[in-house]
Structure 1
Amino acid sequence: MTEHFASWSGGADSTATALLALEHGEPLTALVYCEVMFDAHTSGEVPEHADFIHGIAIPWFEEHGVRVEVLRSQKTFMDVFWHQIKKGLRAGKYQGFPSPGFCKVQDRCKTPPLGRFRRAHKGAVQYIGYAADEDERLLRLGGQKISLLQKYGYTQKDARELCRKYGLLSPAYEFCKRGGCFFCPNTSDNEFRHLRAHHRELWDKLLELQHVENVAFPGRFRTDDNIIYMGSRFDLEERQITWEDLGL
């Protein structure tokens, strides 16, 4: 019998996919959640989302007969950060923060366990959480990858409403549009403001890493920004001071 797995992040689209499978009696072998870890003991998810995943969503699905496969790489973000480059102009330097637009964390912490899982379940059908109003993303589907949101005509807005109906809408949506690692350079300023205000211990870890020397791209977090500069901006905002007030 063909296995059917739902790629699941705890976000609205993938959670709604699993809920539609239950509502419509679609075959569902398990949800597959791949968790990137910041270090051996700290999830890479923003804490509100990590608590939702492990404390609410997984228990809910398991109580409703849906198994959840939690995958993790042996490598964490910190392993990637402290990786010493062996070749090229930057040989001997630490990898440091991921380069914007090219995430070595994804390449080393998420792709390998997912690849192993897929190889172990060849021929399985994969439910992908692409909504009915995501035309470009839906074009990527085919073969063993299908969208239940498309099949039942659910837009991204509909997906959130379905999750809210079941009490399975992540609280992370209160301060971010889409989930992701709390240390990702593609994270919005608003999410970093939240991290700094509500999870100062994690912000301070990023700030400490920003001061590490002998990294491949010193002083960089985003293309033209870093944690130190962001912190300065947020301080000025809290004091309602602009760069113009400082004559800068």
Structure 2
Amino acid sequence: MNRPKHIASCSFGKDSLATILLAKEYGEPLDEAVYCEVMFDKDISGEVPEHRDFIYETAIPKLEEMGVKIIVLRSAKTYVDLFTGRVTRGPKKGMVRSFPLCGKCAVQRDCKIRPIQRYQKNLPPGTVQYIGIAQDEQERLLRLESGRQVSLLAKYNFTEQDAWQLCEKAGLLSPVYALTDRGGCWFCPNAKMPELRHLYDHHPDLWARMLELQTIPGKATEKFNRTQKFSDIDALFRQEDEDTAQAA
């Protein structure tokens, strides 16, 4: 009797990579690892550049050397496509959609969830999905679908710290963890100030693209996050730089 297909959901964060490493170490069945890359536009990844470089230059080559098949999914839609689209109904009909809403992100829905759902429709019945949820994330573990979704981290009693150490030992810990403790696109409205400051300091080309989007007229909202325009954040960082220069 043939066994069901086994796939690993992979963001190339510590928990999903530790899951793959555990599968290989303990001989768990694994047919492929699936990664969905959100794109800013047709050419620029939505991943923080340091993380994207890690994915394509370090993680994927190492996993392929281990015999892991990597599936990369992308939506036909990009962040810019959604940003510049028009509202089709309601009081803001005809306006530019602009920045996604915190907690109700159209980018997450259209650029990540839907490509994954389309991929999953072609999977054979009974496919088992490995999800990177650690032993110390009990609330998330309780939401797993019994028999269809499995946490190898929980099975082998790995906490988030254990996952970190396993990836670090294997040379598979993303440099993004030096910047933040969360995954997310560099244009995410939930990005914390240190993440945005890193983008401002080290990736001025990407920062400039966001400022360009801010200038588009007729937007449904001017706010990048719940309280600020992107230009407000830019002004804040510029003022910080001026204060630092004056104090030097």
Aligned to 1:127: 130
Q: CA shift at 1:113, angstroms?
A: 1.1
* Local SS of the residue matching 2:243: coil
Aligned to 1:166: 170
Aligned to 1:67: 69
Q: Tell whether 2:143 aligns with 1:140.
A: yes
Q: CA shift at 1:106, angstroms?
A: 1.0
Q: Tell whether 2:232 aligns with 1:229.
A: yes
User: After superposition, where does 1:67-86 map in structure 2 within 5 Å?
Assistant: 67-86=69-88
Give CA-to-partner distance per residue, 1:80-119, whole Å, 9 cap, x none. Answer: 1111111111111111010111100011111121011111
Q: Tell whether 2:225 aligns with 1:185.
A: no
Q: CA shift at 1:223, angstroms?
A: 1.1
What stretches of structure 2 of length at least 5 have no aligned partner?
Answer: none
Aligned pair count reads 240
Q: CA shift at 1:67, angstroms?
A: 0.2
User: TM-score by structure 1 length?
Assistant: 0.94
CA distance in 2, matches of 1:155, 1:239: 43
Letter in 2 for 1:142: E
User: After superposition, where does 1:174-213 map in structure 2 within 5 Å?
Assistant: 174-213=178-217
CA distance in 1, matches of 2:223, 2:56: 33
Aligned to 1:29: 31
What stretches of structure 1 of length at least 5 have no aligned partner?
Answer: 242-248
Identity over aligned pairs, percent? 49
Q: Tell whether 2:91 aligns with 1:110.
A: no
Q: CA shift at 1:186, angstroms?
A: 0.2
CA distance in 2, matches of 1:224, 1:28: 44
Letter in 1 for 2:207: W
Q: CA shift at 1:239, angstroms?
A: 3.2
Q: Tell whether 2:158 aligns with 1:154.
A: yes
Aligned to 1:15: 17
Give CA-to-partner distance per residue, 1:29-80, whole Å, 9 cap, x none. Answer: 1100000000000100000000111111011111110000000011111111
Moved beyond 3 Å, runs of 4+: none
CA distance in 1, matches of 2:17, 2:35: 11
Q: Tell whether 2:96 aligns with 1:94.
A: yes
CA distance in 2, matches of 1:164, 1:27: 23
CA distance in 2, matches of 1:113, 1:106: 10
Letter in 2 for 1:167: G
Give CA-to-partner distance per residue, 1:143-179, whole Å, 9 cap, x none. Answer: 2001000011111111010000000000011111111
Give CA-to-partner distance per residue, 1:180-208, whole Å, 9 cap, x none. Answer: 11000001110000001000000110111
* Local SS of the residue matching 1:6: strand
Q: CA shift at 1:142, angstroms?
A: 2.5
CA distance in 1, matches of 2:142, 2:243: 46
